[in-house]
Chain A
């Protein structure tokens, strides 16, 4: 049947009206729940799947953030679902691509909050997006877990914000401690001028000076320049024993290539956890060679469990989702995996998937003491809760002890690159609160 122009317009109008009505219903239901559509108590709401929204960059230069977070979420969901789900509800991970751009992140977040069915937790966002996205998540009462280092969130008070890895303000002293205890008492400090690096600079300088070290040259370099020859020459002119700092993947590759060219060989480079992010070794290893990275580069990053039930469960789950070797040994992927399981256990303990209810249970299922039974997997946690016990979940990244500002203080370790296995290997674990 051929529609006349009038009928066509009427049909369009009806569809538009129906869409608006549906959106209105969705909107009104969202205001009653936690993150959008669905906060509910156990036993009510029927058989639905709980959604974890993975809010990260999946395209662009920071795409590795999203791919790692999605892998962590899927691995945790596999564990949760294998144990019968969260109070019988299966857990699914849905990706929302912020493109690593704060401007793009806002509409994507809004779309996630409106469109994702039974969105009960958010994995993300990353450091670049969080200032623009966090207010939206707070407003929607969406519990979110992140690995952002920005010290501005060190004293945040929102009950929906949960930081799974330590702040840069504790990373800086750990970096200073590691550099000093590796025997480098005269160093050149090189950080890029971006926010995430700059938040580390001042606490690093204070800690390193307190330990007795001397910074013979301080350099703040602009990222992604065509050349760093002058900066390299300035650093070498100060005759440091090592270079310590943080540079993104491309900047590090160019800087270290030019350092090797001018000096004839590399000098030790002690770098923050930035080197453990997926793109760093991928850029630097081809530029200066895996053997050189292995010999000269030490990374200070959160420690990872290397043995035990939690580690085995994590490895098994990572295998199930076909994670790559890099992800299987990455402390940030492990932290994300642990975060999803801890949130799921908190829902079980609270007997509710409503964010405004279960968030107060997150520390209750991760804190030691008080006769809490240590559990290393989701299945163990559910069994213990059903038996009426209090639990402490200690996952693949170790104990996740949240402070009063919802940041997990974890120990750091020195990591080195294994050129044969093409992966980072955890070495000596630093003392808790190293350098502070």
Chain B
């Protein structure tokens, strides 16, 4: 029993990182309808930006994380404006756009690899004392990551429910044409979605690099599959579903490790397959309408 409780706690940390990343991925998809497979590389760029802030400017880790988030925003917006937008303006199909995102992912990954020399990097954080809580064990940084995830998700909830921007995002996500016809500046809303998505990707990337202890040019990309799984699990384009997906995948994979560590991904993806078998559009299907076109 104690092992199960321990693993539940460990799963919460992974799920928190996954939730931040998956919500960022799904917000951008919900508004633009573009399945961005270069999202993992935004996380990696942010991790490197935070590394530079921490090692060259000697900034505090949390301030470095803010730099990572800011960098994620800029990369995400630049990616959408400089690469994806020109394709969309030429009427590129949705499938072709996915391939464009794959190409961008490869380019970014290789540029990062050349720049970083295929080396590993670490924020070199000192060890923190363990904190025991309800049979679970955390350190202060892990608790902070969980807190950050909760705060981010609460902030997003408030944004979507109570602000004009959030409501406009929801409207654009539901029907961009209709939103435009009632005066919502969808182009700006799309840019805001890319910025918000980049911010969350950046925070998730830095949190992941902190949690791993070390990172390289492949780190974000290797985590992308879990992020996409969490997003698809909870209905892609649906932020609350992505949180649910992150919790299930993060915790299930840690619990599976009690039986056999090699079952981690097996169990997580088996649950995903089962959910999709019975609810093809994910657990929170119905709210987001999957569209045939990408919103620019």
Residues of A at the B interface (CB closer than 8 Å) are 59-61, 63-64, 193, 219-222, 224-231, 233-234, 237, 249-250, 253-254, 256-258, 260-262, 264, 279, 282-284, 286-289
Docked complex Cα distance between A435 and B228 (Å): 47
A261 in contact with B127 (CB, 8 Å): yes
Q: Is B106 an interface residue (CB 8 A)?
A: no
Given A222-B265, A227-B14, A279-B120, A61-B3 contact (CB < 8 Å): no
Please count the residue pairs between chain A and chain B whose beta carbons lie under 8 angstroms apart in the complex.
Answer: 112
Known interface pairs A250-B120, A261-B128; A230-B261 also in contact (CB < 8 Å): yes
Q: Which one of B7, B139, B226, B260 contacts A261 once the chains associate, using CB atoms below 8 Å?
A: B139
B214 within 8 A of A: yes
A233-B7, A279-B120 given; 10 more Cβ-contact pairs under 8 Å:
A221-B262, A230-B257, A230-B261, A249-B214, A253-B213, A256-B213, A257-B212, A257-B214, A264-B129, A286-B121
Q: How far is the CA of A221 from the CA of B261 in the complex (A)?
A: 5
Instruction: For A219, list chain B residues within 8 Å (CB).
Output: 261
Q: Does B154 contact A (CB under 8 A)?
A: no
Contact: A254 with B213, CB < 8 Å? yes
Judged by a CB distance under 8 angstroms, whether B152 is at the interface is: no
Given known pairs A193-B262, A225-B264, A257-B213, the reply for A233 and B121 (CB within 8 Å) is: no
Chain B positions within 8 Å of A237 at CB level? 3
Q: Is the interface of B mostly helix, strand, loop or mixed?
A: helix
Interface mask (B1-36 → A, CB under 8 Å = 1, otherwise 0): 001001100100110011000000000000000000
Q: Which residues of A contact B175 (CB under 8 A)?
A: none
CB of B262 within 8 A of CB of A283, answer no
Q: How far is the CA of A59 from the CA of B214 in the complex (A)?
A: 20
Smallest beta-carbon distance B259→chain A, Å:
10
Residues of B within 8 A of A193 (CB): 262
Whether B236 is near chain A, meaning CB under 8 Å from some CB there, is: no
B side interface size, CB within 8 A: 40
- Knowing A220-B260, A282-B120 are in contact, say whether A287-B137 is a contact too (CB < 8 A): no
Give A154 Cβ to nearest chain B Cβ, in Å: 26
Task: Indicate if the CB atoms of B261 and A220 lie closer than 8 Å.
Answer: yes
For the complex, is B218 an interface residue (Cβ under 8 Å from A)? yes
- Is chain A's interface secondary structure helix, strand, loop, or mixed overall? helix
A residues near B195, Cβ cutoff 8 Å: none
9 A-B pairs with CB atoms under 8 Å apart are A60-B113, A61-B218, A226-B14, A226-B208, A230-B261, A249-B120, A253-B120, A283-B214, A288-B213
Chain A residues closer than 8 Å to B93, beta-carbon distance: none
A224 near B120: Cβ-Cβ < 8 Å? no
Are A220 and B223 CB-contacts (below 8 A) given A249-B120, A262-B130, A287-B213? no
By the criterion CB–CB under 8 Å, are B214 and A230 in contact? Answer: no
Which 5 residue pairs spanning A and B have beta carbons closest together? A257-B213, A286-B122, A229-B10, A283-B120, A287-B213
Q: Quick check: B127 and A260 within 8 Å, CB to CB?
A: yes
Question: What is the chain B residue whose CB lies nearest that of A250?
Answer: B214
B49 to chain A, nearest CB (A): 17
Q: A226-B17, A234-B3 are in contact. Are A60 and B118 (CB under 8 A)?
A: yes
Q: Nearest-CB distance from B210 to chain A (Å)?
A: 10
Q: Which of B196-232 contact A (CB under 8 A)?
A: 208, 211-214, 216, 218, 222-223, 226
Chain A proximity of B21: nearest CB distance (Å):
10
Would B130 and A264 count as touching, CB distance under 8 A?
Answer: yes
Max chain A C-beta neighbours (<10 A), residue from B13, B208, B257: B257
Residue contact A231 to B120, C-beta cutoff 8 Å: no
Chain B 250-264: CB-based contact to A (< 8 A → 1; otherwise 0): 000011011011101
Provide the residues of chain A in CB contact with B216, threshold 8 Å.
61, 250, 283
* B161: Cβ under 8 A from any A Cβ: no
| Cross-chain contact A227 with B10 (CB below 8 angstroms) | yes
Known: A63-B118, A226-B14, A261-B139. A231 touches B124 (CB 8 A): no
Bound CA–CA A234/B3 (angstroms): 8
Query: Nearest chain B CB to A83's CB is how many angstroms away?
Result: 34
Q: How near does chain A come to B143, taking the closest CB pair, in angstroms?
A: 12
Chain B's closest residue to A219 (CB) is B261
Query: Given A59-B113, A226-B17, does the pair A233, B6 have CB atoms closer than 8 Å?
Result: yes
Q: Please measure, in the bound complex, the distance between the C-alpha atom of A368 and the C-alpha atom of B32, giving whole angstroms.
A: 72
Q: Which of B106-163 contact A (CB under 8 A)?
A: 113, 118-122, 124, 127-130, 137, 139
Tell whether A226 pairs with B139 under 8 Å between CB atoms, given A250-B214, A253-B122, A279-B120. Answer: no
B92 CB, min distance to chain A CBs, angstroms:
28
- B120 neighbours in A (Cβ, 8 Å): 249-250, 253, 279, 282-283, 286
Q: Which residues of B contact A221 (CB under 8 A)?
A: 261-262
Residue of B nearest to A220 (CB): B262
Residues in A neighbouring B218, C-beta threshold 8 A: 61
- In the complex, which residues of chain B have a beta carbon less than 8 angstroms from the beta carbon of A227? 10, 13-14, 211, 254
B261 touches A222 (CB 8 A): yes
List the B side residues contacting A234 at CB < 8 Å.
3, 257-258
Docked CA distance A60–B255 (Å): 32
- Chain A residue at smallest Cβ distance from B258: A230
Select one of A64, A226, A230, A261 contacting B212, CB under 8 A: A226
Q: Which residues 250-288 of B have a CB within 8 angstroms of A?
A: 254-255, 257-258, 260-262, 264-265
B128-A286 in contact (CB<8A): no
